[in-house]
Structure 1
Amino acid sequence: MNDLEDLLQRNIEWATSLKDKDSQFFVNTSKQQKPKYCWIGCSDSRVSPSQILDLPPGNIFVHRNIANQVNVNDTNCLSVLEYAIYFLEVKHIIVCGHTGCGGIESSFKKQSSKFINLWIDNILQLSIDHKRNLDTLNCGAERFDRLSELNVLNQIVNLGDLNLVKDAWTKNIDLSLHGWIYSLSDGLLHDLTGKVSSLNDLTIIRSLCAPQISGE
């Protein structure tokens, strides 16, 4: 059996297992989806949201890219958010980064990569803005992981600054933003922001990832 045949066989076993537990599972989920959560995460193969949250299909609406970015020019991300907020009516949007992120590490290193360098340019700027803080850490891995946390905070700010989100809050739509980090070393999630559900809450997060001023 080759690799692709193995994948197809795994799919059969997975579908059979779910039907054994609930014979109507696929009948019910095929009719509609009604997730409470929208997940913006990294494309890293080790961070599969449904798996690390132990959720079955139909519970989480997912958008993934390198280093879990929320970019105002990314129509893919914006369309996911619009659909999640105004059509699926999700209650929570989670931005989740992780330790050991290759996208974060790449921002520290000059690599001959056209598209990746463009994509992570704002992370490079974040590392410059927080250089003094990052330089106090003892090793590269600690710096990368701290920058991963700062990146999550920054993406929550980017998310809250979108008109899609601000308009939802203005209309009193029940919508909260959450910044999490996933630890590859133990499989646990850590909440970095608490519940962000207003512009006042967003101001607090903005202060946590604001550029450091020389002499602070």
Structure 2
Amino acid sequence: MHYHEYSDLIKNNLEWAQEKLEQDSSYFEKLAKGQRPPFLFIGCSDSRMPLNSFTKTEPGELFIHRNVANQVSLTDMNLLAVLEYAVESLEVQHIVVCGHYCCGGVEAAYRGTATGVVENWVNPIRELYIKNRQEIDALPTDKLRLNKLAELNVVAQVKNICNTSVMHRAFKSERYPQVHGWVLDIESGHIKDLELPLNNWHEMGIMP
């Protein structure tokens, strides 16, 4: 891992911009014309989650919201504003909630060690653990238990997305994005595309 001085960030930016211009002299001119990203990506704030690196995407391809432990709170105006703009103005085709293994927020919720504002923030994950404690505790190692909780957390947040007023409006219009749940395995760099209980959510009236 490379630790940079602050000045290195500015220097690296100039080098990156020059490299882009050498590849395509009109790169920034085209970028400045506007955005039409096909994906809304809701991820964790963890510094090991460089979304463009893991997905090999370029500027303009991902509309992004990130917070601690990739939570979708129905009272979070920041997230709801991002979601509304992505769905109704940008007309994204896919919404991805992406968690990751080795997540500090998930571990703090699992162990009950979070304090202060973070304790409040990850409390839904703590409740998720308590609700599924029998299934999670039956796994043989802490690592597997934490991985399972990270996966359950992602599925719960995708369900929360479907329960927003933004998505309810989209469902009624019959023009709505597909939803996906991912977990990034930091140890391998691979993304696990989780199976979502879409049929169950349909039967429950959560989504069409």
- Flag whether TM exceeds 0.5 (same fold): yes
Instruction: Indicate whether 1:117 and 2:119 are aligned.
Output: yes
* CA deviation after TM superposition for structure 1 residue 169, in Å: 1.2
* CA deviation after TM superposition for structure 1 residue 193, in Å: 2.8
Change (3 A) 1:204 1:112: same
* CA deviation after TM superposition for structure 1 residue 14, in Å: 1.1
Structure 2: which amino acid aligns with 1:61? Answer: F
Instruction: Indicate whether 1:83 and 2:85 are aligned.
Output: yes
The alignment covers a number of residue pairs equal to 202
Q: Deviation per CA, 1:61-89, whole angstroms, max 9, x where unpaired?
A: 00000111100010000000000001111
2:99 and 2:184 in contact (8 A); partners too: yes
- Counterpart of 1:38 (choices 8, 15, 40) is 40
Change (3 A) 1:143 1:97: same
Q: Which residue of 2 aligns with 1:192?
A: 194
> What TM-score do you get using the length of structure 2 for normalisation?
0.92
Q: Which residue of 2 aligns with 1:10?
A: 12
Q: Spell out the pairing of 1:51-70 with structure 2 (5 A cutoff).
A: 51-70=53-72
1:94 and 1:180 in contact (8 A); partners too: yes
> What TM-score do you get using the length of structure 1 for normalisation?
0.88
4+ runs of 1 displaced by more than 6 Å?
none
* CA deviation after TM superposition for structure 1 residue 25, in Å: 0.8
Structure 2: which amino acid aligns with 1:202? Answer: W
* CA deviation after TM superposition for structure 1 residue 112, in Å: 5.8
CA distance in 1, matches of 2:150, 2:139: 14
C-alpha RMSD of matched pairs (Å): 1.9
Q: Spell out the pairing of 1:1-216 with structure 2 (5 A cutoff).
A: 3-111=5-113, 113-193=115-195, 200=199, 202-203=201-202
Change (3 A) 1:149 1:57: same
* CA deviation after TM superposition for structure 1 residue 108, in Å: 2.0
SS of the aligned residue for 1:104 comes to: helix
Structure 2: which amino acid aligns with 1:190? Answer: K
